[in-house]
Amino acid sequence: MAFKSFPPFLPFTKISFLFAVLALLFVSAGSAPAEPLRIVGFGDSLMAGYGLGPGEAFPEQLESALQAQGADVTVANAGVSGDTSSGGLSRLEWSVPDDADIVLVELGANDMLRGIAPSSTEANLEAIIEKLTGRGQRVVLAGMLAAPNLGPDYAAAFNPIYPRLAERHGLTLIPFFLDGVAAEPTLLQSDGMHPNAEGVARMVERMLPVIRKTIDERKEEDA
The residues annotated as belonging to the active site are 45, 191, 194
Cα–Cα distance measured from residue 188 to residue 170, given in angstroms and rounded to the nearest whole number: 32
> Quick one: DSSP state of residue 7?
P
Report the alpha-carbon distance of residue 41 to residue 75 in Å, rounded.
Answer: 7
Q: How many CB atoms lie within 10 A of CB 221?
A: 10
Letter for the amino acid at 44?
A: D
Query: Strands, DSSP E only, in the chain?
Result: 37-43, 73-79, 102-106, 138-142, 172-174
Q: What does the alpha-carbon distance between residue 208 and residue 202 come to, in Å, rounded to a whole number?
A: 10
E strand segments, 48-156: 73-79, 102-106, 138-142
